[in-house]
Amino acid sequence: MRFQDKVAIVTGGNSGMGKEVARRFVAEGGRVVVNGRNPAKTEAAAKDIDPTGKLAIPQIGDVASPATGEAAVKAALDHFGRLDVLFNNAGIFIPKPFLEVDEAEYDRFANAILKGSFFAAQAAAKAMKAAGRGGAIVQTGSMWALQAIGATPSAAYSAAKAGVHALTKNLAIELAVDKIRVNAIAPGIIETPVFNTFLSDEQVAQVLPTFNAMHPLGRNGQPEDAAEALLFLASDQAKWITGVVLSVDGGIMAGRP
């Protein structure tokens, strides 16, 4: 198994892509710290991933605070004795026209996405460097950081995710000497509960299918599609890959049919 006895932190690991990558990491022999802001949701996710509580533990906190990344690293080291992988997955997505975004909303995107990724990666990299075994940091970027989508105006979100892409390349260079690889994925439309944060269940059922045709492969992505790419980049199968932002988007960035 690819992750036998390895330990990962998954920020935003209590639903969607984060929960799926945490679940599969454990299924492939690893142990995980499942981070999330909502205590009940995060504890339930960890229990669902591993009912025994031995292979998945919850860690509550908002990654917008650097202390949360530090606490997640401490949890990994205290409970499992090591840290091999950080999945920087936490974020928010709420489309809103540029002219309507106020400072508080801008700060919310910048803090949850870019600041959170920056300081969680810093805490993880310090632990990995101290251990001397190297490691992998895999970030969740976005297709929206590569091109604008008129149907989902999201300038603040896109700018923050573009910062994650730039952070990925910078950290890949800085941390290579410590054998820490840093990569990211740029997903297209992935059907996760994030859409329920600004749409009703009925609206989600109506709206999401309209995006299928936008992808040349003919369908929206599922959490397992993103998890497959995230796990590959975290594994030794990608041991000579660093500084890459991998499009996982059903072909959107290749062009239009």
Q: State the average pLDDT over residues 130-158.
A: 95
Q: Which residues are catalytic?
A: 157
Rounded Cα distance, 160 and 140, in Å:
11
* Total-model pTM: 0.95
Q: Is residue 252 in some structural domain? A: no
138 in any annotated domain: yes
Q: What is the pLDDT of residue 187?
A: 97
Helix H or strand E segment including 7: strand 7-10
Question: In the numeric block, which tokens belong to residue 129?
Answer: 């460097």
Residue 1 falls inside a structural domain: no
User: Position 200: which residue type?
Assistant: S
Q: Is residue 107 part of a domain?
A: yes
4-20 residue pLDDT tens = 999 999 999 999 999 99
Identify the domain containing residue 124 by its residue range. Answer: 7-247
The verdict on residue 16 lying in a domain is yes
Residue 31 lies in a domain: yes
Query: Under a CB-based contact definition with an 8 Å cutoff, are residues 243 and 168 in contact?
Result: yes
Instruction: Enter the tokens of residue 222.
Output: 């599922």
What residue spans of 15-115 are helical by DSSP H?
16-27, 39-49, 66-80, 103-109
> Residue 191 carries which DSSP code?
-
Q: Give the CATH number, domain containing residue 30.
A: 3.40.50.720
Q: Is residue 254 part of a domain?
A: no
Model confidence at 195: pLDDT above 90 = no
**pLDDT value for 204:** 73
What pLDDT was estimated at residue 231? 98
| Beta carbons of 55 and 32 less than 8 angstroms apart | yes
Domain count, the chain: 1
Is the pLDDT confidence value at 222 over 80? yes
Contacts of 118 (CB under 8 A, 6+ apart): 167
pLDDT digits (tens, 9 = 90+) for 26-45: 999 999 999 999 999 999 99
Residue 51, φ and ψ in degrees, nearest 5: -60, -25
21-24: Cβ within 8 A, 24+ apart: 21/87, 21/89, 21/226, 21/227, 21/230, 21/231, 22/49, 22/56, 22/87, 23/48, 23/49, 24/224, 24/227, 24/231
For 149-183, the pLDDT digits (tens) are: 888 899 999 999 999 999 999 999 999 999 999 99
Q: pLDDT tens digits, residue range 104-130?
A: 999 999 999 999 999 999 999 999 999
pLDDT tier, 196 (very low <50, low <70, confident <90, very high otherwise): confident
The pLDDT mean for the chain works out to 95
Q: Would you say residue 55 has pLDDT above 90?
A: yes
Has residue 211 got a pLDDT over 90? no
Give pLDDT tens digits for 61-72. 999 999 999 999
pLDDT at 254 over 90: yes
Question: Both tokens of residue 193?
Answer: 């509960």
Q: Residue 59, by phi and psi: left (phi above 0), alpha (psi -120 to 50) or beta?
A: beta
The answer to whether residue 256 sits within a structural domain is no
Q: Which two tokens stand for residue 80?
A: 């499992």
Distance CA 11, CA 189 (A): 20
